[in-house]
């Protein structure tokens, strides 16, 4: 059985006056966060036609269900998300919302060999280069949640306090989105026009494989349901948690989180340098 908030305010801290308010935002410094990481990199710039860099980062970030805000006004609306802020703040401790255990980033720049000739063919064959960048990382974490509401609570959500929907025993940010993979490439040719003038022709392809990077997911795993049971010929009502049968772990959006995670896009451009 998990606790419910059935009365207004924190009377232990503010006294009876707390009963006059549904929510009181108390700004204190009583939590911490920690971050550990290891980086391995292989970098090459010694070859004439090829440069590349490959780096891998392992990291682990933990906090007390941190919210990132820049003003106290924003904090007042987002700072009441703990499951139990008064008796057991440790329930809210776990992986950070930005915890990304594995991240691999690589790029390669390759200049195709030029043809040493004075014929017109050099304008077609020479000064080509191919660039590629690759990113792969663990998906961001999410908190496995519960829907529904205990009638004895004073506000919404299943703990009766309009707070976090996390499930004690499972904890915050224990679920994880699928990994994200992005591979971008550029094919480029430089056309000399005499002196310092040249024309650059470019073809940029973003997300070559058109990989589906899921950034929206159903996170509600359980639901509060009514159970009617007969005890000594008397009907009594109780509530219980049962698996949610709707949208848990069903993707709701993908490739929708900025220019780095878009569907495949092709861009053709020209630039005149003088």
pLDDT in tens, 88-97: 788 889 999 8
Under the banding of pLDDT at 50, 70 and 90, the label for residue 71 is: low
The reported pLDDT for the residue numbered 180 is: 93
At residue 9, the pLDDT reads 65
**Per-residue model confidence (pLDDT) at position 69:** 62
Question: How many alpha carbons lie under 13 Å from residue 123 in its C-beta half-sphere?
Answer: 8
3-class secondary structure, 73? helix
Gap between the Cα atoms of 246 and 272, Å rounded: 55
Q: How far apart are CA 219 and CA 222, in angstroms?
A: 9
% residues pLDDT > 90 (the chain): 36
| 26-40, 49-63, 208-222: which is most confident | 49-63
């Amino acid at each position: 059985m998990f606790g419910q908030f059935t009365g207004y305010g924190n009377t232990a801290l503010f006294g009876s006056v707390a009963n006059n308010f549904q929510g009181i935002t108390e700004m204190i410094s009583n939590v911490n966060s920690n971050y550990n990481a290891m980086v391995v990199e292989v970098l090459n710039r010694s070859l004439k036609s090829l440069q590349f860099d490959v780096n891998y980062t392992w990291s682990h970030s933990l906090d007390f269900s941190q919210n990132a805000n820049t003003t106290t006004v924003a904090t007042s609306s987002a700072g009441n998300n703990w499951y139990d802020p008064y008796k057991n703040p440790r329930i809210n401790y776990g992986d950070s919302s930005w915890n990304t255990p594995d991240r691999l980033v690589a790029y390669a720049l390759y200049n195709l060999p030029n043809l040493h000739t004075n014929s017109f063919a050099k304008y077609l064959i020479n000064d080509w280069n191919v660039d590629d960048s690759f990113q792969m990382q663990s998906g961001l974490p999410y908190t496995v949640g519960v829907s529904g509401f205990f009638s004895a609570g004073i506000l919404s959500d299943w703990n009766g306090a309009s707070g976090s929907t996390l499930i004690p025993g499972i904890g915050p940010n224990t679920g994880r989105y699928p990994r994200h993979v992005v591979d971008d490439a550029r094919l480029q040719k430089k056309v000399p026009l005499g002196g310092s003038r040249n024309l650059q022709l470019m073809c940029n392809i973003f997300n070559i494989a058109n990989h589906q990077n899921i950034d929206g997911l159903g996170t509600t795993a359980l639901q509060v349901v009514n159970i009617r049971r007969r005890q000594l010929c008397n009907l009594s009502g109780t509530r219980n948690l049962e698996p949610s049968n709707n949208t848990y772990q069903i993707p709701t959006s993908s490739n929708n989180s900025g220019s780095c995670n878009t569907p495949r896009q092709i861009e053709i451009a020209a630039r005149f340098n003088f």
